Structure 1
Amino acid sequence: MARTWEGPAGRLLLGLAVLLHRTVTDRAAKRRLEHWRNAALRAAYRRGVPVGVLASRTRLTQRWVRTVVTGGKPPPVDEAA
């Protein structure tokens, strides 16, 4: 009786699992993916997407999203009159 993973679909899924494991779990790959995520957050923010929506859709805190979209600087403070 042949093992199910020896078929073409099993080999393809095994290859996909190996690829994902190597690209997602590597420390450098994780940093690269976070860099791409942060760039996408900044671009969406520049296009007018509010911080609350960015935070809820990415399941990050609003404070973290604000830090990312401002480049690590504190957000600008509106002066009270």
Structure 2
Amino acid sequence: MARKWEGTAGLLLLGLAVLLDRTVASRTAEKRNRDWRDAALRAAYRRGVPVTVLASRTRLTQGWVKTVVTGGKPPPVDEAA
């Protein structure tokens, strides 16, 4: 009886491995997750969360976060009063 379930369990585990590979580990999934993260960072920045907080919470550098929130353009220069 155990052998009957071994094959079925093996096929289920294989299906799980394929699902995880396609949704978590593939290059397409990594890019999709990065795009979602970047969109969330931009939305938080537009709602007033400072770059320093975004960088520390996501463990990214401030320079990278500035690049993400400005859409790849250099951030605007703050003029001294």
Normalising by the smaller structure, the TM-score range is 0.7 to 0.9
**Percent identity of equivalent pairs:** 81
- TM-score in terms of structure 1 length: 0.75
- Cross-structure match for 1:24: 24
- 1:12-38 alpha-carbon deviations (Å, 9 max, x no partner): 887655533321111111111100100
Length, aligned pairs only: 79
- Cross-structure match for 1:80: 80
Unaligned runs of at least 5 residues, structure 1: none
**Which of the two has greater helix per residue?**
2
- Cross-structure match for 1:66: 66
The structure number with the bigger radius of gyration is 2
Alignment root-mean-square deviation, CA: 2.7
Aligned partner letter, 1:27: R
Aligned to 1:75, the other structure's residue is in SS state coil
Aligned partner letter, 1:21: D
